[in-house]
Structures are given as C-alpha cells and as structure tokens.
Amino acid sequence: MKVLKILDWPSKRFYGETHHFYRWRNAFLEHGLKVEIYYNHKDKRLKGADYLLIHSRYFAEGWQNLLTRSSQNEDEMIAYLLEMKNITGRLIWFDAADSTGSSDFPIISLVDVFMKKQMLRDLNYYTSHDQYDLRIWLNTLSVDQRTTFVPCPKDQLHKIKLGWNLGFNDYRYFGYKMSRLSNYLSSRIYPVQLTPYDKTRKYDLAFRGTIHKDKGQENVISYQRNHVLALFQKLNLTIASGKNVSKARYWKELRDSKLSISPFGWGEICYRDFETFIAGSVLIKPLMSHLETYPNLFVENETYVPVSWNLHDLEEKLEHMVTHYEVYKQIAKNAQLQYFNAVNNADSFINTFKQNIE
C-alpha cells in the first residue's frame, strides 16, 4: 500500500479543489493508495511519503502570489522543496492557477511532477522567451496591460502533467457544510440537485456582474465580461443581469434561464461552467480548443457553444440560439449527463491521476 500525502489549501478544505480526495478516500484504498491530508507544511508527518502533493495556494500569502513574492520567501520555498524532495518518493506541485499559463515555473526543477488544472495543447508556448502573456487569449486582444511569465526550461517541459479542473469541486448548495461529514455519506443523502434541461425557462439568458472601469490589470482580465455586459444594452432578450445577488437568487435565475455565458477571466475555466451544467442551461464559452483539461467537458457544439475570443460573433450566436432553442437544448442535455458521469466516477479519476503522477 503506497501513501499519498497532500499539503492542502486550508481555507478551501473539503469542498474546494481537493474535494474528491476526501470524498473518495475509500476508493483510493481499493486502488492501493492511502490518502492523508495535512494543513501545515511543518508537520513532521508529511515526511516519508511515496507521493507528496503540494497545493500551490497553500503558499498564496507568500511566494505563490505574484504580489507578495520576494527573494526571501523564494529562498524559503526553495529550501523547503529541496528538503521534501530528498525524503519523498515523488514530489508533486499542483499549480492551482486559474489559467493555462503559470507563474510557478521558477520551481519546476525542484519537483518531479508539475500538475495543472488545464494545460496548453502546444507546450512550446511555455518555453518561449518572448513576452507572451500569462493568459494566452490576451495576446489576440488590443490591450496594454500584460502579465508575463518566466518560461519553463525546455529540459523540464516533460514534468508538466494534466491534473484536474474545478468540475470536481462540491457544488451542492450547502456543500461547504455537508462536506465535513465522515466518509462522504453526505454525497448519498444530499446529492447535487440537477435541474431538468427541458424545464420551462422564463429567461433567455442569465449573467450577473458589473463592468470594471479601472485601468489596471483587472480591467484587462475583465475584457470579455465587460464586452458581454455592454452587449446586453443592444439585445432584445429577456436577461437576468445586474449586480451580484444572493446565492439563492443566483441559482434560481440560472435554473430558469435557457442560456448561460461564461467568458474567460482570470482563467478559461470558471465555476459558472459547472453551475450551468447543473442548472440545465446551454453553456456559451470562448473557444476552448487550445487547452487540455480533465474531466474534458468542453466539446464544441456537443456540451457547449463556442464563440471567438474577441466575442465578435456573440450577438449573432445569442439571437440564433434563442430563436432555435429547442434544437440547442440537446447540448444542455449532453453536458449535464457528461458532467454527472464524470464527477461520480471515482475509478476513472484515480486511474488517470495515478498515471499522471508517475
């Protein structure tokens, strides 16, 4: 029996990106892997693991955050990784960055596996010394603000492996409370409530948010969202939009909406994607063919409707989809079924994970 030890992100334990490691502990045992989870990097029990997986956002208050990164915490990070690598079978860095890009390549030589939630199909992008943006889609837009990254050394490129995306998070309404129940009995007594894709829906579209008017980096990140919100002024559609609302109202509107737009922001994949699948709405997203992710729930015109990165075709697509909604409902059906099957398949996840950490 091998042991997988995880240094988790304490503030999102149980229902965040490691949710399924808690949920499927018994299933991991059946696959010959004992999972132990820790929340303090100084815990002596972390030593001597067959596999040690470090959630990068454990260090979000220090080195892993570009705003707080310094030579001091970088030296501390390097020393820690060197220490753990010497006493661990396989040292795994789970890069929890929202985008396919990464700001963590300076430490890739210190680990055995560098896992990403979503990674570029063209890995050569990571090795470029040109001033490419951390978020690849911004290279196609006329924007001034850039977030460049330290390239990945070419001899380290083989370490980049596919991890898992936000699809495995706990999206139950009270998941952040129920997730603490032992052995995930809660998944049986309180499953995710899927809304029938073919229910009557009073809104054509649901999208909550406000336009960012600042001139800094966040305004660049919000380029697509701002475009969507500005477009609403031109559309003759029934739209649930405006400022943020309560969680209950947000879910009600999404479950009552035919369509749901999920633009890129800090990353390509967003909570809204999976909330849309749960709600039975039709997902509209900028084209996702540039990346690989797991579970892969982004199949063009099968589980989502793609639009261009500059969103110039969005208005035409929306009008066509509302007019022909009865046809597009099949996409919502496909997406919901694939989502449900993927996030409830422990064997598939565990086998994929084991393959990618070797």
pLDDT band per the 50, 70, 90 thresholds, residue 198: very high
236-260 b/e (C-beta count within 10 Å ≥ 16 → b): eeebbbeeeeeeeebbebbbbbbbb
Q: What DSSP state is assigned to residue 263? A: -
pLDDT at 215: 56
Average pLDDT score over residue span 27-54: 96
- Tens-digit pLDDT profile for residues 283-310: 999 999 999 999 999 999 999 999 999 9
Q: What is the CA angle 169-20-166, rounded to 5? A: 30
* 240 φ, ψ (degrees, to nearest 5): -90, 100
> Mean pLDDT across the stretch 155-173?
94
DSSP 8-state secondary structure symbol assigned to residue 302: T
| High-pLDDT (> 90) share of the chain, % | 73
Architecture of the domain delimited by 2-168: 3-Layer(aba) Sandwich (3.40)
Share the mean pLDDT of the chain. Answer: 90
What phi and psi values does residue 228 have, to the nearest 5 degrees? -60, -50
User: How far is Cα 152 from Cα 128, in angstroms, rounded to an integer?
Assistant: 8
**Tokens 């208050």, residue located:** 61
Q: Angle at Cα 89 formed by Cα 85 and Cα 90, nearest 5°?
A: 70
User: From the CA atom positions of the chain, what is the Rg in Å?
Assistant: 21
What does the DSSP 8-state code read for residue 148? Answer: B
Distance, in Å, from the CA atom of 331 to the CA atom of 50, rounded to the nearest integer, reads 42
- Non-local (6+) Cβ contacts of 2 within 8 A are 32, 33, 34, 50, 51, 89
CA 201 to chain centre: 28
Q: What is the mean pLDDT of residues 10-39?
A: 92
User: Which residues, in sequence order, are bridge partners of residue 4?
Assistant: 35, 51
Q: How far is CA 300 from CA 24, 30, 286, in A?
A: 30, 35, 10
Rounded Cα distance between 64 and 56, Å, is: 7
Whether pLDDT at 194 is above 80: yes
Q: How confident is the model at residue 216 (pLDDT cuts 50, 70, 90)?
A: low
Tens digits of per-residue pLDDT, 111-153? 999 999 999 999 999 998 765 778 888 887 765 556 778 899 9
State pLDDT tens for residues 234-282: 999 999 998 889 999 999 999 999 999 999 989 999 999 999 999 999 9
Q: Which of 148, 54, 46 is nearest to 102 (CA)?
A: 148
Look at residue 185 and tell me whether its pLDDT is greater than 70: no
CATH H-level, domain 192-343: superfamily:
Glycogen Phosphorylase B; (3.40.50.2000)
DSSP for 11-57, written as a single string: GGTTTSTTHHHHHTHHHHHHTTEEEEEES-TT-GGGTT-SEEEEEGG
CATH 3.40.50.2000 domain extents, the chain: 192-343
> Residue 190's pLDDT is what?
73
For 72-84, the pLDDT digits (tens) are 988 999 999 999 9
Residue 84: count other Cβ atoms within 10 Å of its Cβ.
Answer: 20
Which tokens belong to 340? 């449900």
